[in-house]
Copies of this chain bind each other. A is one copy, B any other.
Amino acid sequence: MSSIKDVATLAGVAVGTVSRVINNTGAVKPETRRKVTEAIRELNYVPNEVARNFKMQKSKMVALLLPSIWHPFFSELAYYIEDELDREGYKLMLCNSGGKPEKELYYLDMLRQNKVAGVLGITYNDIDNDITTEIPIVSIDRHFSKKITCVTSDNREGGRIALTELVKAGAKKPVFMGTIPQAFSETLLRKEGFVEEAERLGVEYAVYEQPDPVLDDDAYFDRFLSLHRDADGVFAITDMFAAKYIDRASRLGIRVPEDVKVIGYDGIQDHPYFHPVLSTIRQPVEAMARTAVKLLFRRMEGEELEDETYRIPVEFRPGETT
């Protein structure tokens, strides 16, 4: 890494002059400014956010695209993203883009016009054609067909853990309960991990899936309950699916966890005051948020990242449903 001193030496000026050029404060002769700028470029000198800002002439704002801030997983994520951005003096612009690709495209335009310095996105809209690898974007949970950096929880491992925990709790034929998203989503790996682990352990299992989004809860759960009335273990793709299933099952006299063990995914319950407290695969939301921001900053500095997908380890959080 080059230092500000290296830049001053190469440009043949004092360190204070380099600082004045970087911060754009005080008088610097055009010729001196040119020398300093060239030295910065030659040494690929990236001092910190001040320099970044200077180099890119970008705003100190990052846009966060979420389907809806109202969802507890997304609001927790936004909380930590704002906190991490704030440490570097960046502001957060929030966009609820659920079902509105045109809103997402608008923010991508802002990015191209340097009105925002970067974009963090959880998008379920189909905007692949408008994404390029050159612009600083970090995706959360969703892969694009192009090489956009993605931060996600380790969904496959989560699926494996869920299968293991259901078996450990006594389930003989656990069922995966999920959806089939329109575009490839990391959440598909929850099923894959579940299936792989079941096959590895020689456990009988079943998979129940319907196209995403599920618009008719009655149809979705009635069909599940007619096919898997006697399931003794259920791994639901999200906590909300788990909660809805438990509610409907209990109306049929199916008891949780006595008759059926249930594990969700997300960890949206923050406190133990509302029941059932779900047994769940907890998303490492804080780590995902901070990692996504740090990677975005590296992309904003023009750095190439080592990996395309960063998977953050998950943990099983036992509740009242296993």
Residues of A within 8 A of B (CB): 61, 64, 68-72, 74-76, 78-79, 82-83, 86, 91-96, 103, 240, 243-244, 246-247, 269, 271-276
Q: How far is the CA of A94 from the CA of B96 in the complex (A)?
A: 12
Cross-chain contact A70 with B61 (CB below 8 angstroms): no
- Using A72-B75, A75-B78, A274-B274 as known contacts, list a sample of 12 further A-B pairs with CB atoms less than 8 Å apart, ordered by residue number in A: A69-B79, A70-B79, A78-B94, A79-B96, A82-B94, A82-B96, A92-B94, A92-B95, A94-B94, A243-B274, A246-B273, A275-B275
Assuming the A-B contacts A86-B103, A271-B243, A275-B274, are A68 and B79 also in contact, with contact meaning beta carbons closer than 8 angstroms in the complex? yes
Q: How far is the CA of A240 from the CA of B274 in the complex (A)?
A: 10
Q: Report the minimum CB–CB distance from A101 to chain B (whole Å).
A: 14
Report chain B residues within 8 Å CB of A96.
Answer: 79, 82-83, 86
- The residue on B at minimum CB distance from A246 is B273
Report chain B residues within 8 Å CB of A272.
Answer: 247
Q: Report the minimum CB–CB distance from A59 to chain B (whole Å).
A: 9
Report chain B residues within 8 Å CB of A93.
Answer: 61, 91-94
Report chain B residues within 8 Å CB of A69.
Answer: 69, 75, 78-79, 82
Cross-chain contact A273 with B94 (CB below 8 angstroms): no
A sample of 26 inter-chain contacts (CB < 8 A) reads A64-B94, A69-B69, A69-B78, A69-B79, A69-B82, A70-B75, A70-B78, A71-B75, A72-B72, A72-B75, A74-B75, A75-B75, A75-B78, A79-B96, A86-B103, A91-B93, A92-B93, A92-B95, A240-B271, A243-B274, A244-B273, A247-B272, A247-B273, A274-B274, A274-B275, A275-B275
Q: How far is the CA of A95 from the CA of B243 in the complex (A)?
A: 31
Report chain B residues within 8 Å CB of A94.
Answer: 64, 78, 82, 92-94
Q: Report the minimum CB–CB distance from A175 to chain B (whole Å).
A: 19
Report chain B residues within 8 Å CB of A91.
Answer: 93, 95
Q: Report the minimum CB–CB distance from A255 to chain B (whole Å).
A: 15
Q: How far is the CA of A55 from the CA of B61 in the complex (A)?
A: 24
Report chain B residues within 8 Å CB of A72.
Answer: 72, 75
Cross-chain contact A76 with B86 (CB below 8 angstroms): no
Q: Report the minimum CB–CB distance from A69 to chain B (whole Å).
A: 5
- The residue on B at minimum CB distance from A274 is B274
Q: Report the minimum CB–CB distance from A84 to chain B (whole Å).
A: 11
Assuming the A-B contacts A69-B69, A93-B93, are A243 and B273 also in contact, with contact meaning beta carbons closer than 8 angstroms in the complex? yes
Q: How far is the CA of A75 from the CA of B75 in the complex (A)?
A: 6
Report chain B residues within 8 Å CB of A74.
Answer: 75
Q: How far is the CA of A273 from the CA of B278 in the complex (A)?
A: 11
Q: Report the minimum CB–CB distance from A264 to chain B (whole Å).
A: 11
Most chain-B Cβ atoms within 10 A of its Cβ — which of A74, A93, A243, A274?
A274
Report chain B residues within 8 Å CB of A76.
Answer: 70
Q: How far is the CA of A262 from the CA of B61 in the complex (A)?
A: 44
